[in-house]
Amino acid sequence: MISADDTILIVGHGSREDSGNQEILAFADQWRARQPDWRIHVCFIEFAPPGLKEGLLDAARQSRRVLVVPLILNAAGHVKMEVPEAIEQARLAYPQTEILLAPHLTACDPVLAVLRRRLRQAMNTLDMPDPTTTGVVLLGRGSSDRGANGDMAKMARWLLEVGDHELVDLAFTGITWPRLERVVQRQALLGMRQIVVLPYYLYTGTLMQRIHRQVEHLRAQYPQLRFVCTAHFGFEPEIFDLLTQRILDLDRHVADSRLPCDGCTYRELAHDAGHGHSHEHTHAPAANAAQQEHPVHIHAHAPGHDHDHDHPHGHGHDHGHDHDHAAPHREGQTA
C-alpha cells in the first residue's frame, strides 16, 4: 500500500522548449489531484531542473520507498541506461531507502486507445472521411535503438489491425528512416487523397513545432492532398491510468518489480569497464505481469553513439531530439 513515507518520482525527458517541461509539471499537478494521498515529485533527465540524479537523491533522502516511473513512450538509452544507473547511485547513497523502477509506458492497449481516438477525431474533420482513400502516418522520434523503433512499428501495425485504413505507415523525425516526406510521397503515389499525421509524442517541444512546420510545407508541396496533423497526447486519461497502474504494480509485486535492465549484468560490466552502454544483449523473459509487456528487449548501442540529439556531429545522422546545440557525444543520451 502506498503510504505517506513513499515518494512517486516521475521522470520526464526534459526539453530546451520550456513549454514542454511546464506540461510535465502540469501533468504531475493533475495526477496529484487524482491521487491526493500520494506524494508525487518530478525530475528531468536533461534540460530542466531538478535533474535525474538530484531528484532521486532528494526523494531517497526523505522516503521509505521511492517508486520511479518514467514518463517516456519508448525505451532507449535514457530508460535502459541512465535511469537505472542513477537509481544505483541513489541506492548506494541511501541504502535504507528502497528504490523501485516501473516500466516506461511502451506499446500497449491504453496508448493504442488514445491513438484510435485521435484518428477518429481527425477523420471527422475531413470533407471525405473515407478510410480507403485516407493514409495514416504514425510519426515518432527516431532512435538508434532498434527495440525503441520496433515498439513504434508495433503501434503502427496495431493501429492498422483495429481500423479500416488500408495504409498505416510509420515515419520518424530523425535518426532512422523513413522520414515523413518520403512516406507522404509514397502514399500520394498510391492514390491517397487525404493523409492524417499522428505524432507519437506526449508533450510539446521543438520537435512538435518542427512537425507542424513540416506538415505546412507538405500542404504546399501536395495541394491535391488534404492533411490533418493531430496534437501530442500527454494529458489523456489513459496516460494517467497507465502510470497509476504502474505504481500499483510496483507496490503489489515489490520482489519482482525491477526492469530487466535495472541491475543488468551486461550494463554493470560495461560500466565497470568504462564502456558506458556499448553492448548488445538479449534479456530472458520476465516473470511478472509488468514485465510481460516487453519480456525481451535488445540493446544495440555503439560506443557514445546512442542519443537522439538535434545537433551536428559530423557522422551523417539527423538526430531528432528536443535541442539544437553542438556538443560532443555523451554516453546514455537516447530518448
Tens digit of pLDDT for each residue in 249-300? 999 974 344 444 444 443 444 445 454 443 333 333 333 333 333 333 333 3
At 11-24, the pLDDT tens digits run: 999 999 999 999 99
In the prediction, which pLDDT does 77 show?
Answer: 78
Taking each helix axis as running N to C, give the angle between helix 109-124 and helix 237-252, from 0 to 180 degrees, rounded to the nearest 10. 180
- CA neighbor of 310 nearest in space, from 327, 328, 323: 323
- Helix (H), strand (E) at residue 8: strand 6-12
R_g over Cα of the chain: 20
Q: Would you say residue 309 has pLDDT above 80?
A: no
pLDDT band per the 50, 70, 90 thresholds, residue 162: very high
* Cell of residue 151, nine digits: 515498439
Share of the chain above pLDDT 90, in %: 72
Residue 216, CA distances (Å) to 51, 78, 221, 231 in order: 35, 31, 9, 14
Mean pLDDT of 61-72: 97
At 79-137, the pLDDT tens digits run: 889 999 999 999 999 999 999 999 999 999 999 999 999 999 999 999 888 999 999 99
Q: Please indicate whether residue 89 or residue 311 has the higher confidence score (pLDDT).
A: 89
Mean pLDDT of 153-169: 97
Residue pair 44/21 in contact by the 8 Å Cβ criterion = yes
Taking each helix axis as running N to C, give the angle between helix 237-252 and helix 18-34, from 0 to 180 degrees, rounded to the nearest 10. 60
Mean pLDDT of 142-161: 96
d(Cα 114, Cα 238) in Å, to the nearest integer?
7
At 225-254, the pLDDT tens digits run: 999 999 999 999 999 999 999 999 999 974
Residue 138, CA distances (Å) to 109, 230, 320 in order: 16, 10, 15
Output the CA angle 7-8-14, nearest 5 degrees.
125
In the prediction, which pLDDT does 6 show?
Answer: 98
d(Cα 286, Cα 34) in Å, to the nearest integer?
30
Mean pLDDT across the chain, nearest whole number?
82
Q: Would you say residue 321 has pLDDT above 60?
A: no
What HEC string does 249-297 produce?
HHHHCHHHCCCCCCCCHHHHHHHHCCCCCCCEEECCCCCCCCHHHCCCC
Residue 118, CA distances (Å) to 113, 170, 197, 228 in order: 9, 16, 10, 11
In the prediction, which pLDDT does 50 show?
Answer: 97
At 197-226, the pLDDT tens digits run: 999 999 999 999 999 999 999 999 999 999
In the prediction, which pLDDT does 285 show?
Answer: 34
- CA neighbor of 308 nearest in space, from 133, 204, 172, 183: 172
In the prediction, which pLDDT does 75 show?
Answer: 80
- Helix (H), strand (E) at residue 122: helix 109-124
Q: Measured on CA atoms in the order 66, 233, 192, 217, is the torsion positive or negative?
A: negative
- CA neighbor of 320 nearest in space, from 224, 182, 159, 210: 210
Mean pLDDT of 143-165: 96
Q: Would you say residue 9 has pLDDT above 90?
A: yes
Q: Would you say residue 316 has pLDDT above 80?
A: no
In the prediction, which pLDDT does 333 show?
Answer: 34
Q: Measured on CA atoms in the order 261, 262, 268, 274, is the torsion positive or negative?
A: positive
d(Cα 70, Cα 300) in Å, to the nearest integer?
21
* Cell of residue 265, nine digits: 549484468
Beta-carbon neighbour count of residue 53 at 10 Å? 17
In the prediction, which pLDDT does 139 show?
Answer: 98
In the prediction, which pLDDT does 76 show?
Answer: 79
* Cell of residue 277, nine digits: 552502454
Residue pair 125/228 in contact by the 8 Å Cβ criterion = yes
